[in-house]
């Protein structure tokens, strides 16, 4: 072990919030990217993304005003109406914070969660026609020190899903909201009633260390210097 460092603990701080303490307003639209096709609007105290029929699907994104601190624990909460069927099985609505992505395929009747570019995990309890057009209440905790994200989802049609997904080296400074995938056959929309991102800095000790590869007392490969959580 060559050296260590410690990240001190701090109180929980809010990085972004709308729809709970702070009401949505038209001023919020400027903080989200303008879709190439489709529109963003504020209506009924929600951010709504609408995509027309027979057009490409484009998501909108927003960079958090304050980026999460390295190694902090992030809490992500949202109330999200996932939208209806689109007539195309590969069309989906999406809500994500950085590398943690929640998707709903309206025509395929499938909900998924994904970390980074790794394969989507199917939310088996949310896979039926009655979940179309429902509102999902999502709560997720992302521990950047371990790469572990735990999540729980409850829907307005009385269904639920929960689990843990791991993705090391992820980034979580951007929010994404909208639709993607194949072109829909008719107009569709998805809406975000509320969203919040908070973080708590953690007491985390890191160490720089050397890994050697030895076989029968002989070093057989170049040693590697690494840094990791103790």
User: Residues, the chain, total?
Assistant: 230
Q: What is the predicted pLDDT for the residue at 3?
A: 52
Cα gap 183→97, rounded to integer Å: 24
End-to-end CA distance of the chain: 10
Give me the residues paired with residue 18 across strands. Answer: 195
Q: What is the predicted pLDDT for the residue at 88?
A: 85
Q: What is the predicted pLDDT for the residue at 9?
A: 46
Q: Which residue shows structure tokens 């950047």?
A: 144
Token duo for residue 103: 């998707």
**pLDDT < 50 stretches in the chain:** 1, 5, 7-9
Closest of 55, 117, 53, 46 to residue 82, by C-alpha? 46
Q: What is the predicted pLDDT for the residue at 8?
A: 46
pLDDT tens for 75-106 read: 999 999 999 988 888 889 999 999 999 999 99
């Amino acid at each position: 072990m060559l050296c260590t460092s410690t990240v001190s603990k701090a109180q929980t701080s809010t990085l972004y919030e709308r729809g709970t303490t702070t009401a949505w307003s038209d001023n919020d639209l400027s903080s989200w990217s303008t879709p190439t096709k489709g529109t963003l609007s504020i209506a009924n105290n929600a951010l709504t993304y609408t995509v027309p029929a027979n057009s490409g699907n484009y998501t909108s994104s927003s960079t958090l005003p304050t980026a999460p601190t390295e190694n902090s624990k992030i809490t992500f909460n949202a109330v999200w109406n996932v939208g209806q069927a689109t007539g195309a099985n590969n069309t989906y609505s999406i809500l994500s914070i950085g590398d943690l992505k929640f998707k709903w395929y309206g025509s395929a009747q499938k909900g998924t969660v994904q970390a980074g570019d790794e394969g989507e995990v199917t939310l088996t309890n949310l896979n039926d026609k009655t979940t179309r057009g429902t509102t999902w209440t999502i709560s997720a905790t992302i521990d950047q020190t371990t790469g572990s994200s735990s999540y729980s989802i409850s829907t307005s049609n009385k269904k639920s899903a929960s689990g843990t997904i791991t993705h090391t080296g992820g980034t979580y400074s951007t929010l994404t909201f909208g639709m993607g995938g194949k072109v829909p056959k008719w107009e569709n929309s998805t809406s975000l009633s509320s969203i919040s991102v908070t973080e708590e800095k953690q007491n985390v000790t890191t160490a720089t260390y050397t890994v050697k590869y030895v076989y029968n007392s002989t070093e057989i490969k170049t040693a590697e210097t690494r840094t990791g959580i103790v």
